[in-house]
Amino acid sequence: MTFLEKINQFLGLKRFPVLYQTLKDPIYAGILLTLIITLIGGLFYGPKKREVTRLNEERNLTQSQTVQKEKNLSLLKEQVNRINLRLQRRSLNIDHLTANERKMSQVLEKMALLAAGDSVEVISFRPDSRQEEEKEVLLTVRVKVKTRFNELERYLSKLDHFPQPVKIDRIKIETLEDETPLIFAELLVTTRLKKEEG
């Protein structure tokens, strides 16, 4: 008994005379065997291939997001440098400080209102240091906000034109672990205030 006859007997193809006679031909038998192997291979390897494809897509997406975050951080640092450079060119003469800006609380309130207009959520204002000079007080505060890169960039741009000159000494960005575009940013901001008289 030939190999093909054994297969036909195993599959019980004699009950289907037309199919049996067809498969006695080695060419047709080879075609059927190829189809069966392809079908079995698809059942076993199809899901694995899809899983590999999905993992590759996720890896590429993560790499793309990482590159974009690094680019955004670089742009923010450049903007902070530009703000501080312009500040050096602006006059910090005490005569330019108005009475309404003598109290730090008022300055912080204005900064918070400015942030709200750009969808920047102010998490906290925390005093960092206070240095008294002859006619001025040099105050530094930590401002923590929750926002997106684009909104933070607009907020920094507005701080550059803030009525009360401020200097951004440092900016620290913390990205969230999940896929949300939100970030936490901590700004170390310094400003000069006119001393209260009396």
pLDDT tens digits, 74-113: 777 776 666 666 555 544 443 444 443 456 667 777 777 7
Per-domain boundaries in the chain: 1-89, 92-194
134 band by pLDDT with thresholds 50, 70 and 90: confident
pLDDT digits 0-9 by tens, 10-53: 455 555 555 555 555 566 666 666 777 777 766 666 666 677 77
pTM reported for the whole predicted model: 0.49
| 161 CA to centre of own chain | 27
CATH of 92-194 given 3.90.550.10, 3.40.50.300, 3.30.70.60, 3.20.20.60: 3.30.70.60
Is 38 exposed, middle or buried, given 0-12, 13-18 or 19+ CB atoms closer than 10 A? exposed
Pairing of strands 136-147, 166-175: unpaired
Dist. CA 159–CA 15, nearest whole Å? 87
